[in-house]
Amino acid sequence: MIKALIEREERREGEGERRGEREEGEREEEKRRETRREGGRREERGRRESRSWRAVSVLLSEGLSPAWKQTRNHAAAARLDLRGIYPPIATPFTPQEDVDFQKLEENLQKYAKIPFRGLVVQGSNGEYPFLTEEERVEVVKAVRRSLPADKLLMAGSGCESTKATIQLTQKMAAAGADAVLVVTPCFYKGKMNSPALVQHFTKVADNSPVPVVLYSVPANTGLELPLDAVMGLSEHPNILGLKDSGGDITQIGLIVHKTKTQDFQVLAGSAGFLMAAYSVGAVGGVCALANVLGREVCELEHLCVSGRLEEARALQQRLIEPNAAVSSICCTEDFDPPLTQVTRKLGVPALKQAMEWFGFHGGACRSPLQPLTEAETQQLRRDFCSNGWLIAVGLRKFNLSNTPMNNSRMSTWKHTGGQQSRWFWWAGFGGACEDQQVHKQV
């Protein structure tokens, strides 16, 4: 009897196991069927999208932009608020002139502690004309991996031809750019009139997955975006704004005024005229000097926005000469005295040298750009020292940019160089070294 009971129980257990195996097999088969059904649905969606894009291509080839695409791009553009400061970051290189991604990452970690709105990658100060297309995209990918999600990444995607610009724009978007900065084509600048430029930027914006910011930099391109072209382009739903590096405050004010009915944002292209640009309606700045004095440029933005004009004016004046030294921007006569008197135009080599003094990785430029001469380095030093951002004592240089201080305060600094010792008293520079660290030996 007991043996029969045991055998019956074993049979039930065996049947249960077989039933469980059948059910498991049925579930697996159902998963496979669902996978096949999903594959079929994807293929059908792909066929529909292919038909849609063929129709879009016909419309675009006829100079038309489909309404659904305008709506999509307008929604994307409307989400981006450009207000704030952006450093156009430099590209560090190894001694073999390869992109130094390790030093780039170290710079990014330091920039993350500064209240920037975002970063401009592969702009003029990133030496983009000297990088291959693949390198430009890889730099954007590296920055995107490191950049906090709340910071905007604006990638330079301008090329000489419209077709190449569209292709690089799409690659930059895929690499993680929130917007693209598109410079004016300039090799055939004599033919780059308003109709040509409007057509170029319109086609780029029509085909860009992300919003487009126009980039006018006459010092490098030899041409300026005409006012009528900017006004027309401001109506495009996927053109978000303009970075104006020309320094003509009258022109910037006119652009702001003429486009005030559009959601069109103007960024100053230099810290040298940042306060003036804010006074006529600019919403921020893409400033080379922010690579070096990032907190100070952000502070100037804060003072301008909050209406503390006397403080803003004092800080703006102290930034003019250092900015002119590291900039290739030609300033205009909108200041008194005219800033053209102090424009050094030492450009990217000077910017990278100053970055080294202030604890960032600048290093050498890629050939054929040459390093500063000794005379140029001395001039750059004077431009920063005379405005209180550095103190040169003996053979060493101190960074005084980190912490604002009251002009009435005095500090005592001791410097030992070799067997010599001296005391250096200073007051009224408006800054102090946070940890009294020597940043560079020269």
Non-local (6+) Cβ contacts of 361 within 8 A are 92, 100, 103, 104, 106, 107, 355
Structure tokens at 268: 């100053």
d(CA 26, CA 16): 15
d(CA 247, CA 259): 18
pLDDT at 40: 56
Long-range contacts formed by 202-205: CB under 8 A, 24+ apart: 202/233, 202/236, 203/60, 203/162, 203/166, 204/162, 204/165, 204/166, 204/169, 205/73, 205/233, 205/236, 205/238, 205/239
Q: Alpha carbon 403 to chain centroid distance?
A: 25
Question: Torsion angle of alpha carbons 175, 177, 183, 185, nearest 10°?
Answer: 30
Query: Are the C-beta atoms of residues 100 and 94 closer than 8 Å to each other?
Result: yes
Query: Are the C-beta atoms of residues 70 and 59 closer than 8 Å to each other?
Result: no
Q: Please report how many Cα atoms fall inside a 13 Å half-sphere around the Cα of residue 133, on the Cβ side.
A: 13
Residue 403 carries which DSSP code? B
pLDDT at 17: 67
Residue ranges of domains in the chain: 74-387, 391-441
**Active site residue ranges:** 243
- Tell me which amino acid residue 418 is: G
Tens of pLDDT along the chain (442 residues)? 666 656 666 676 667 667 766 777 776 667 666 656 655 554 554 444 433 333 333 333 334 343 334 444 555 555 699 999 999 999 999 999 999 999 999 999 999 999 999 999 999 999 999 999 999 999 999 999 999 999 999 999 999 999 999 999 999 999 999 999 999 999 988 989 999 999 999 999 999 999 999 999 888 888 888 999 999 999 999 999 999 999 899 999 999 999 999 989 999 999 999 999 999 999 999 999 999 999 999 999 999 999 999 999 999 999 999 999 998 654 444 434 343 333 457 899 999 999 999 999 999 999 999 999 999 999 999 999 988 999 754 434 556 665 443 333 323 333 333 333 222 323 223 333 333 333 333 3
d(CA 159, CA 337): 37
Helix (H) or strand (E) holding 212: strand 212-216
Q: Which residues pair with 122 in a beta bridge?
A: none
What CATH architecture applies to the domain 74-387? Alpha-Beta Barrel (3.20)
- Tell me which amino acid residue 257 is: H
pLDDT at 60: 36
